[in-house]
Amino acid sequence: MEGSESLRHIGLQGCCNFRDLGGYPTIDGRHTRWRLLFRADGLTRLTAEDLDEVVALGVRNVLDLRTDLEVESRGRFDGGATGVEYHHLPLTDTLPGEEQGSAWQDTGFVAARYLDMLRNGTASVTRALALLAEPGGLPAVFHCSVGKDRTGVLAAVVLGLLGVPDAVIVDDYVLSATAMVRILERLRAEFPDADEVVDRYAPVILSVEAASMEGFLSGVHRHFGDFDGLAGALGVAAQVAALREILLQD
């Protein structure tokens, strides 16, 4: 995988999975630019020092992919007077229930779930691409609660539209594995009286298998032919052209 891990992982106290999407190769021999697009887990725990770091990175837009209920119950990113714009773009209406925990050990189930997110979250995906492609829209960060599933779907779409090969998209996806262990440990520490509930959700959190993303990408190719076909289906060809101009370098 291209790029320095020290550049890719942004160390924050209140965020476990904040990563730079720069340094990835494309099929036409270019690379994604560093320090323009980031993916992350929830941003509601950022400390004052974390917020200073986000501002120092030049972030202008925060795209929140969580459900309405998550935003209502856990709060939303508050940039205060930093000038960072917040956008709520839910990628799904519902979250997995406790009873689905074991199903997330099936990579075929996870891949199908990701395709559902793309299908049902089309409006949010197209809006996200439009915001990122706007003049002055970058640097930006998009996130969900743990920065793996909904964030992983949007990251795959953006990278695919930029021309990043499938294998590299999969590599980026599985980088979340270490952060998921940290997030699960944090949940156990915060809810010591709810061990059984956390245990039932653990498979959902810890499921970061390459085959899940490979299955999602295969589904994209099956339904749309390639990512250019997806761009045409979404009606975002102009936005993709703008993103390639901004985010790619020789």
* pLDDT score of 247 more than 80: yes
> Domain extents for the chain?
5-249
Domain spanning 5-249: CATH superfamily: Protein tyrosine phosphatase superfamily (3.90.190.10)
24-38 pLDDT per residue, tens = 999 999 999 999 999
pTM, whole model, 2 decimals? 0.95
Strand 248-249 to 31-32 pairing? antiparallel
pLDDT at position 2: 44
pLDDT attached to residue 98: 54
Instruction: Indicate if the pLDDT at residue 44 is higher than 60.
Output: yes
pLDDT tens column, 75-93: 999 887 788 999 999 999 9
Query: Which tens digits make up the pLDDT trace of 174-213?
Result: 999 999 999 999 888 887 777 777 787 788 888 899 999 9
Q: Which value, to the nearest 10 degrees, does the dihedral of the CA atoms of residues 175, 38, 130, 228 take?
A: -30
Residue 100 has pLDDT above 90, yes or no: no
Report residue 4's pLDDT band, with 50, 70 and 90 as the boundaries: low
pLDDT at residue 225 in the model: 97
Under DSSP, the state recorded for 9 is: B
Is residue 1 pLDDT above 80, yes or no?
A: no
Percentage of the chain exceeding pLDDT 90? 80
Q: pLDDT tens-digit profile of 54-70?
A: 999 999 999 999 999 99
**192 exposed, middle or buried (CB, 10 Å; 0-12, 13-18, 19+)?**
exposed
According to the model, what pLDDT value does residue 97 have? 63
DSSP-based three-state secondary structure for 125 = helix
DSSP string spanning 23-85? S-B-TTS-EEPTTSEEEES--TT--HHHHHHHHHTT--EEEE-S-HHHHHHH-----TTS--E
What integer pLDDT is reported at residue 210 of this predicted model?
A: 98
Residue 3 pLDDT: 44
pLDDT tens-digit map of 120-179: 999 999 999 999 999 999 999 999 999 999 999 999 999 999 999 999 999 999 999 999
CA distance 183 to 40: 12
